[in-house]
Structure 1
Amino acid sequence: MKKAVLPLLLLCLSQGINAQEADTSAKPAKDYNKWTVEFGGGINKVSNPLNSGYHVDGYSLYHLGLGARYMFNTKFGAKLDVAMDRLKGDDVSIGFQTKYYSTSLQGIVNVGRLLEFEEWTKRLNVMGHMGVGVGVLTGDEIDKGDKTGNFLMGMTGQLKLSNRVSIYGDFTMLNAFSMQLAWDGHPNTNNKPGFDGTLYNASVGINIALGSHKEHADWYVFNNDDVINELENRVSELEELMNDVDKDGVPDYLDVEPNTPSGALVDPKGRNIDLNKNGVPDYIDSALAEMESKGAGSGAGAAEIVDLINDGYVNIYFDFNKDMPTSASTGAITFLITYLKDNPEKSASIWGFADEIGDAKYNQELSERRANNVKKIFTDAGIDTSRLTIEGKGVDNSVNKDSSAARQTVRRVKLVIK
């Protein structure tokens, strides 16, 4: 029997540990409680070894048990328990009374979850258990307790009363080995000490779940709808991350300049590329070169540049709650200053904007500070202040308020060339 039971126990425990990883990867363990305490009592019945002249009734009172159980996941667990069984002779037996105290560590299999009982019942369950332990047989005529080892296996039925409480009925077979005495407390005259000490007990009791969650692992049923909702939320988050407002091929969460025109040549961070270092983004250089190749003339070229500026393709950007331009806006500032210096007859209105986050009055003032600071940069660069006017436009609510990437595109200053 030892050869059969021990491998089964090891298999049970190893499956429990392996399944812990599988189960928790599908659903975090925080969704259900893992601990229970359980106590109960019932009847017992012993068979061999009993010496000649010693007999027991069909069953005897009493058996008492107390245990603590931990579930690795909804299917496998382990428990530590202690028990006491009183044994006594029947009416035709030589009188005796002994007690057997035992403790064991057992692996648990939630048969109900494995067989998907939840498809037809929410209140009935079956648990299997198997393990090893030690025990000691005591009695009035025993000078020293007879210490034994034991193997146990059994089945437990459960009836759920609430999310915290269930009652159980259990049947367990205990096989004791290395017994020096018979169950009657006298030296075993029938057999040499071996694996023939058998004790059966049947008990009823109560399980109490411990923990802060609604359900215990014994009864928790994984809901596929939860997975679907979680996946949908993740997909939505990924879709938002992959938004590309300016269509330059760089997702908004990586885009430092999130308002470059579609088709503009940008670096991996979404910044306009200026290979010739003339302060003008290459896509504007290309547009001007194309107009010149078509014989559009300087007047047409100047008009196209004004359209690019006034349509918001050359903006100066700001970080959240900041009133000084980002370093990534240096190219746009250089281009605008260069344009105004090359066209002294032109004047410009400097419009400041803020996103929707925060108080409207504060954002109005922030937009004015942004416009003022850009004006100071221009005047410090040699642009006559009489050619520049400022206007705080306050909040720009043209983008999705919940998108941080979209809000970046409206924290800006734009110029309107006149």
Structure 2
Amino acid sequence: MRKRIILLVISSLFIGASYAQDSFSGKTEFNHWSIDAGIGLTKPYRNVARGYSTATPDFLAGELGARYMFNEFFGLKAGFVYNNFQAEKSTLDFTTKQYEFDLQGVIGIGRLLRFETWTQTLNLLAHGGFGVGLLDFDLLDDNDHFATALAGLTGQIKLSPRVALNIDGTMGFHVHQNRTWDGTMPRNNEPFVFNGTIGFSYYLGKKAQHADWVVRENEYLALMDERIADLEAQIKKSREEDARKVQEADDQLGRRIDDLDGQVAMLANAGDDDIVGRLINEGYVNIFFDFNSSKIDKGAADAINLLRNYMMKNANVAVNLIGYADEKGTEEYNKKLSTKRAEAVAELLVKSGIDKSRLHSEGKGEDTSVDESSPNARQLARRVTFSIR
């Protein structure tokens, strides 16, 4: 549900502008364009080689862009960002320059929250979008290209009808960055960078006011109420859909358990001399584990004793122990965890008197046969099952 809400907000940044433009066209005269510039400090995080460290904060960060506001609520801006990263004096020396072009949606939070009811000089903008750029390393001949997702807030102080003072904080989350900030090593973490700048907006146009500061009476209230109601309806629908999926998964788990109980009872009543062997081979004997654990708890005693007694009575029987994990974690981690679970059961059987040569342990990793949307269903995946060979 959280992902869907985020997508709704991001969508409103880019498609809400044109919708609002149609709704407000011709009602109030104001300027749309501005030139925004700022200078300040920068700090990259989580991605440097051993022995290197970036200054906190680092000078210089600079940005220059053009912004077009469709109305007082929504707009778009395109910009250029320059960052200069340097080493702490106590660490190995390096300098890296970042050049970036970006396109972002803009929301006039001050107008949405009706700041004009208590101030005529303060405003707040939110912005978010995407960009591309390169890193120029002084320690490396090659440049490193990257893409970035951006989000930030800009506080504004109106100095005149043409000029506003801006204080901006922006976070950029880099993807496809291949090297550390110093350039000496392959990337070891997901990097991100924070820029804090102070600068100005210069408003272009012949009208008396810009969209950042335009004040309407009551013409937009009905539309905003409608938008809020629509967003609330979509969130409610998303929650109901999530609840339905969880309920379906739980119902599926209940049916699976009932079916399991029924088949075990059927086998027990069949009078077969090798009922236990059939139960083992058909997957009805399992050892279940807690999340991210290979520790065998007391609840597994019945299944362990069943398998041990069967192997004691059938000295020629060997058994495969097959471990599984749920979908949480990487493929490599789940492979190791499922192997540890199988080996833990084998070790317990050896301690109970079963010869180690009769046991073969292996981990299969993630069990994809269960419904990932239900925590209860995932419990079935965290197990060791058996087969006779």
TM-score normalised to the size of structure 2?
A: 0.53
Correspondence for 1:109? 107
Correspondence for 1:151? 149
Confirm whether residue 217 of structure 1 aligns to residue 211 of structure 2. yes
Correspondence for 1:58? 56
Q: 1:208 aligns with which of 196, 202, 205?
A: 202
Equivalences for residues 166-177 of structure 1 within 5 A: 166-177=164-175
Q: Which has the larger radius of gyration?
A: 1
Correspondence for 1:415? none
The superposition leaves residues 46-88 of structure 1 with CA deviations (integer Å, 9 ceiling, x where unpaired) of 1121111111222100001000000011110000000100001
1:167–1:204: 8 Å Cα contact kept in structure 2? yes
2:177–2:187: 8 Å Cα contact kept in structure 1? no
Correspondence for 2:324? none
CA RMSD of aligned residues (A): 2.1
| Equivalent residue letter for 2:199 | G
The superposition leaves residues 315-344 of structure 1 with CA deviations (integer Å, 9 ceiling, x where unpaired) of xxxxxxxxxxxxxxxxxxxxxxxxxxxxxx
Query: Partners of 1:187 and 1:88 in 2: how far apart?
Result: 16
1:68–1:81: 8 Å Cα contact kept in structure 2? yes
Unaligned runs of 5+ in 2: 220-389
Equivalences for residues 358-373 of structure 1 within 5 A: none
Correspondence for 2:354? none
Query: Partners of 1:217 and 1:21 in 2: how far apart?
Result: 15
SS at match of 1:221: coil
Equivalences for residues 185-264 of structure 1 within 5 A: 185-188=183-186, 190-191=188-189, 196-223=190-217
Correspondence for 2:336? none
Query: Partners of 2:178 and 2:164 in 1: how far apart?
Result: 39
Shift of 1:129: 0.2
Query: Partners of 1:53 and 1:150 in 2: how far apart?
Result: 26
Which structure carries more relative contact order (alpha carbon 8 Å, separation 6+)?
Answer: 2
Correspondence for 2:123? 125
| Equivalent residue letter for 1:182 | T
2:52–2:92: 8 Å Cα contact kept in structure 1? yes
| Equivalent residue letter for 1:127 | L
Confirm whether residue 179 of structure 1 aligns to residue 177 of structure 2. yes
| Equivalent residue letter for 2:143 | G
| Equivalent residue letter for 2:18 | I
Distance 1:190 1:224, change over 3 A: closer
Confirm whether residue 22 of structure 1 aligns to residue 14 of structure 2. no
2:55–2:85: 8 Å Cα contact kept in structure 1? no
Unaligned runs of 5+ in 1: 226-418
1:34–1:211: 8 Å Cα contact kept in structure 2? yes
Query: Partners of 2:7 and 2:40 in 1: how far apart?
Result: 27
Correspondence for 2:158? 160
Distance 1:3 1:173, change over 3 A: farther
Correspondence for 2:46? 48
Shift of 1:146: 0.5
2:33–2:203: 8 Å Cα contact kept in structure 1? yes
Distance 1:189 1:133, change over 3 A: closer
Query: Partners of 1:56 and 1:2 in 2: how far apart?
Result: 33
Equivalences for residues 240-389 of structure 1 within 5 A: none
Query: Partners of 2:148 and 2:103 in 1: how far apart?
Result: 11
The superposition leaves residues 13-66 of structure 1 with CA deviations (integer Å, 9 ceiling, x where unpaired) of 1112211111226x14xx100000011100001112111111122210000100
| Equivalent residue letter for 1:176 | H
SS at match of 1:50: coil
2:178–2:187: 8 Å Cα contact kept in structure 1? no
Correspondence for 2:14? 13
Identity %: 35
Query: Partners of 2:89 and 2:4 in 1: how far apart?
Result: 38
Query: Partners of 1:19 and 1:42 in 2: how far apart?
Result: 33
Query: Partners of 2:185 and 2:21 in 1: how far apart?
Result: 46
Query: Partners of 1:87 and 1:181 in 2: how far apart?
Result: 14
Query: Partners of 1:8 and 1:54 in 2: how far apart?
Result: 38
Distance 1:3 1:89, change over 3 A: farther
SS at match of 1:54: coil
Aligned residues: 218
| Equivalent residue letter for 1:131 | G
1:50–1:188: 8 Å Cα contact kept in structure 2? no
Query: Partners of 2:111 and 2:67 in 1: how far apart?
Result: 17
Query: Partners of 1:176 and 1:4 in 2: how far apart?
Result: 22
The superposition leaves residues 379-402 of structure 1 with CA deviations (integer Å, 9 ceiling, x where unpaired) of xxxxxxxxxxxxxxxxxxxxxxxx
Correspondence for 1:78? 76
| Equivalent residue letter for 1:96 | F
2:36–2:202: 8 Å Cα contact kept in structure 1? yes
SS at match of 1:18: helix
Query: Partners of 1:99 and 1:6 in 2: how far apart?
Result: 32
Query: Partners of 1:188 and 1:2 in 2: how far apart?
Result: 30
Query: Partners of 1:181 and 1:11 in 2: how far apart?
Result: 34
SS at match of 1:100: strand
Correspondence for 1:297? none
Query: Partners of 2:187 and 2:73 in 1: how far apart?
Result: 45
1:150–1:176: 8 Å Cα contact kept in structure 2? yes
